[in-house]
A and B are shown apart, each in its own frame.
Chain A
């Protein structure tokens, strides 16, 4: 069974500072990996995804993530955080059953941005 660990429950950064959110996964095969962002009471917005190929993937809003198979990690980064980035961030791994690919989420990291 697949699983995702996000070791940081809560992170606070200053606006303009760099950001790295950690994600470790467990999955027997090559995983499908995702980062989603959720504002309070809102839906989940896809930031970026990794299926195969280049291990450094670019997403929306200036985010990027790097897939490291040797470390079973898929950390999310942003060089300069904006106050509007404050939200809950979920890392997820997709497990294909052939006709569907359910997502298993980490417990999330809440990002607070100070001005």
Chain B
């Protein structure tokens, strides 16, 4: 069965640089979620989109923005990167409010 695809899988950036993470949901899924998992921590909800509209917002810094495109893929844009942004970033998708299926994550390292 098709799964959630995230790219890139690993990303290394310098402080103050910009990063873009991409997420391709399971086909026919209309909702995308982004989570951030710091080292040794539980995933924290950042933001979600339903049918290309933002549906909920969590603890997402103002330096971050995201959107969902017409083909339902989503991108998380992160600017002015800080050392504390180093984490595993997960995308999950669902059909409306049904079960969320997670991608493999993007490991972001900020040097």
A residues apposed to B, CB below 8 Å: 32, 34, 36, 41-46, 49, 90, 94, 96-108
Chain B, interface SS category: strand
Complex interface: chain B residues within 8 A of A101 (CB): 94, 97, 100
Complex interface: chain A residues within 8 A of B31 (CB): 99-100
Residue contact B50 to A99, C-beta cutoff 8 Å: yes
B residues apposed to A, CB below 8 Å: 31, 33, 35, 41-45, 48-51, 53, 55-56, 58, 88, 90, 92, 94, 96-97, 99-105, 107
Complex interface: chain A residues within 8 A of B58 (CB): 102
Complex interface: chain B residues within 8 A of A96 (CB): 97
Complex interface: chain B residues within 8 A of A45 (CB): 102
Q: Closest CB-CB distance, A36 to chain B, in whole Å?
A: 7
A-B contact pairs, 16 of them (CB 8 A): A32-B97, A34-B99, A36-B102, A42-B105, A46-B99, A98-B97, A99-B55, A99-B56, A100-B31, A100-B50, A100-B56, A100-B97, A102-B33, A103-B33, A103-B43, A105-B42
Residue of B nearest to A49 (CB): B99
Bound-state Cα–Cα, A55 to B33, Å:
27
Complex interface: chain B residues within 8 A of A103 (CB): 33, 35, 43, 45, 92, 100
Q: Closest CB-CB distance, B35 to chain A, in whole Å?
A: 8
Chain A CB within 10 Å, residue with most, of B58, B88, B100: B100
Residue contact B45 to A102, C-beta cutoff 8 Å: yes
Complex interface: chain B residues within 8 A of A98 (CB): 55, 97
